[in-house]
């Protein structure tokens, strides 16, 4: 059985409270193939509540909720902390509207109904991100049951390929889909991707031997305009067997980018497609 080929790019995951980040190499657990497949969900942005008491900064965030229940998103000032609601009740399996904290400032994510958005110590937030950390003016914060990871959509060029959070830029000749399976509970040996109707497993754009799973950000270039994708076990060498996930619709134009966030377990895997603005 082929083991998951880990990316050499450092991936930074967010600490639940405190606004700092630490390197992580989270392993993915063992593979199962039972259970029904589920269709994908396409993300729909929610309307954010205005944060009238705080200045609007230049760094834009979205929050993707891969936990099992709704979350509330607040923006906060630093120093003397003032918090304002920014996107309340973001449902499980959906993405928030864009929020922009003051600079310097933070974005904090609480379970829906949480009452301590101004907390500064031992807060138990689901996620917290500071404008003083990370890169670029456009970021997506993904909240899972076991933590959170931030992706930088407009990073410094030097970070692409060196830091796992930094997305590669758009390719004008083709779509790019970033497949992330950090919320899949049983993909220890990795997953492979196929396009139904096309023979064989597809190769990662950045590294042909990089499988999907763990902290890897696997990049694929599907047919422009839209296609569907399926996920297969690492032991399915030609992706001709029964999929363990999908099909998921990946409708992406040439020159555009999108995420495919996978969660759940093999055979009952959910897929959330989120376009990169």
User: Which range among 29-33, 92-96, 225-229 shows the weakest confidence by mean pLDDT?
Assistant: 29-33
Task: Give the chain's domain count.
Answer: 2
- Residue 72, pLDDT > 80, answer yes
| Shared domain check, 144 and 32 | yes
Same domain, 139 and 62: yes
pLDDT tens digits along 117-162 = 999 999 999 999 999 999 999 999 999 999 999 999 999 999 999 9
For residue 172, what pLDDT band results from cuts at 50, 70 and 90? very high
In a domain, 137, yes or no: yes
Position 10 confidence tier, pLDDT thresholds 50, 70, 90: low
- The helix/strand count (H/E) of the chain reads as 0, 18
- pLDDT at position 208, please? 77
Q: Which of 152, 181, 197 is the last residue of a domain?
A: 152
- The domain boundary, picked from 152, 179, 211, lies at 152
Which of 17-31, 205-219, 249-263 shows the highest mean pLDDT?
249-263
Range of the domain at 270: 170-276
Cα–Cα distance between 26 and 211 in angstroms, integer?
15
Same domain, 122 and 189: no
Residue 29: pLDDT over 60: no
The verdict on residue 93 lying in a domain is: yes
Domain contains 3: no
Provide the phi-psi class of 140: left if phi over 0, else alpha when psi is between -120 and 50, else beta: beta
pLDDT in tens, 188-231: 789 999 999 999 999 999 887 789 999 999 999 998 877 899 99
pTM (2 decimals)?
0.83
- List Cα–Cα distances, 216 to 49, 157, 222, in angstroms: 34, 19, 18
Residue 268: HSE in the Cβ half-sphere, 13 Å Cα cutoff: 6
């Amino acid at each position: 059985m082929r083991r998951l080929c880990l990316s050499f790019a450092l991936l930074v995951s967010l600490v639940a409270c405190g606004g700092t980040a630490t390197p992580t190499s989270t392993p993915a657990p063992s593979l199962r193939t039972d259970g029904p497949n589920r269709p994908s969900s396409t993300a729909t942005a929610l309307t954010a509540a205005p944060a009238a008491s705080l200045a609007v900064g230049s760094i834009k965030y979205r929050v993707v909720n891969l936990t099992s229940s709704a979350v509330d998103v607040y923006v906060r000032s630093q120093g003397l902390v003032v918090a304002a609601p920014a996107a309340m009740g973001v449902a499980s399996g959906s993405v928030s509207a864009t929020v922009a904290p003051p600079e310097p400032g933070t974005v904090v994510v609480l379970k829906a109904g949480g009452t301590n958005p101004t907390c500064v110590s031992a807060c138990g937030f689901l996620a917290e991100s500071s404008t003083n950390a990370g890169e670029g003016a456009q970021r997506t914060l993904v909240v899972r049951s076991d933590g959170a990871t931030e992706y930088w959509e407009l990073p410094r060029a030097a970070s692409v390929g060196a830091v796992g959070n930094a997305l590669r830029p758009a390719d004008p000749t083709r779509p790019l889909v970033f497949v992330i399976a950090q919320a899949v509970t049983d993909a220890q040996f990795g997953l492979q991707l196929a396009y139904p109707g096309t023979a064989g497993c597809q190769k990662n754009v950045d590294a042909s031997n990089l499988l999907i799973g763990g902290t890897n950000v696997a990049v694929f270039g599907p047919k422009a305009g839209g296609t569907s994708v399926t996920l297969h076990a690492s032991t399915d060498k030609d992706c001709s067997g029964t999929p363990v996930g999908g099909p998921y619709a990946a409708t992406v134009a040439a020159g555009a980018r999108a995420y495919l966030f996978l969660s759940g377990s093999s055979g009952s895997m959910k897929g959330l497609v989120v376009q990169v603005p």
